[in-house]
A and B are shown apart, each in its own frame.
Chain A
Amino acid sequence: MQAIGDTPKAMAYAPPARHLLRAKDLADARYADKLDVDDMAKAAGLSKAHFSREFKAAFGESPHVYLLTRRLERAAALLRTTDRSIADICFSVGLQSLGSFTTSFTRMFEQSPAAYRASFPPAVSQVVVPSCVVRAYGRPQHRPAGRGD
């Protein structure tokens, strides 16, 4: 698979922001991986310190904050739409520490991951299961009458 961070060959001159956008796209596409600001800087072809300044000037937020809030947004979506455990969700959006996840999530969403999840209808109630599946898996096990009573 071609990484988004790869700079296409023989490109025409692009405004500097185009390289910053490539780093932003990398965060959006690969947030689930062990991605950090160093990787984003590499995708933009800049040193880390220079990249962080340029990114903030272009998009109004530091790359660190952008990546973190992308991960929290994806985690919030998983809290609403899946019944996976909070720890599982934390690691699956690329965060390494459950403690910092809970702290950052609570700061940004003004409630804990568990409270956030509880404020939405349960994920299972939102799932559209095809009628053939409902019919196949909902049929009860046959229990013959009048035997062993």
Chain B
Amino acid sequence: MKIATTQVWVNDQDEALAFYTEKLEMEVRSDVTMPEMGNFRWLTVSPKGQEDVAIVLMAVPGAPVMDDETAQQVRALTAKGFAGTVFLTTEDVRADYEAMKARGVEFVDELEERPYGIDCGFRDPSGNHFRLTQLTAF
């Protein structure tokens, strides 16, 4: 068993696409809109060099997939930063941090040395939390 795809809720898919590709420099793995499914758009991205795992940038659906109240709760939870976290690793967190900062990524945790490595945290425009860690080799 392997993880293939995971998902975050996004407030606006075009805004998310711009953020993930331009500011995080991820690559689009699929972007398909299905008219027979109420124009559902399957939009996935993942880091360069990692093609076997992707994140779905999922729009919060309306009825009949999700009732209005639930959709509103999901939007609010995401905006409040409680919809989940994606944990990323990198070979050179300082370089990535500087580059992303220069591209205007909103960092919520500056670089910090931890027993397990050096890491930092940021959010996407919707409020999803990401941690980026350079793990210590043990």
Size class of the contact patch on chain B? 20 to 34
**Max count, chain B CB within 10 A of own CB: residue among A14, A24, A128:** A14
Instruction: Give chain B residues whose Cβ lies under 8 Å from the Cβ of A11.
Output: 15, 125
Whether the pair B104, A15 counts as a contact (CB closer than 8 A) is: no
Instruction: Give chain A residues whose Cβ lies under 8 Å from the Cβ of B15.
Output: 11-12
How many pairs, one residue from A and one from B, have CB atoms within 8 Å of each other in the complex? Answer: 60
Whether the pair B79, A14 counts as a contact (CB closer than 8 A) is: yes
Kindly state the separation between the CA atoms of A20 and B106 in the bound complex, as whole angstroms. Answer: 14
Instruction: Give chain A residues whose Cβ lies under 8 Å from the Cβ of B75.
Output: 15
**Chain A contact residue count (CB 8 A cutoff):** 22
Within 8 A of B (CB), among A37-76: 58-59
Instruction: Give chain B residues whose Cβ lies under 8 Å from the Cβ of A8.
Output: 104, 106, 125
Closest 4 CB pairs of A and B: A12-B12, A17-B79, A18-B79, A15-B79
Residues of B bordering A, CB below 8 Å: 11-12, 14-15, 75-76, 78-81, 101, 104, 106-110, 115, 123, 125-127
Residues of A bordering B, CB below 8 Å: 1-2, 4, 8, 11-18, 20-22, 24-25, 28-29, 58-59, 128
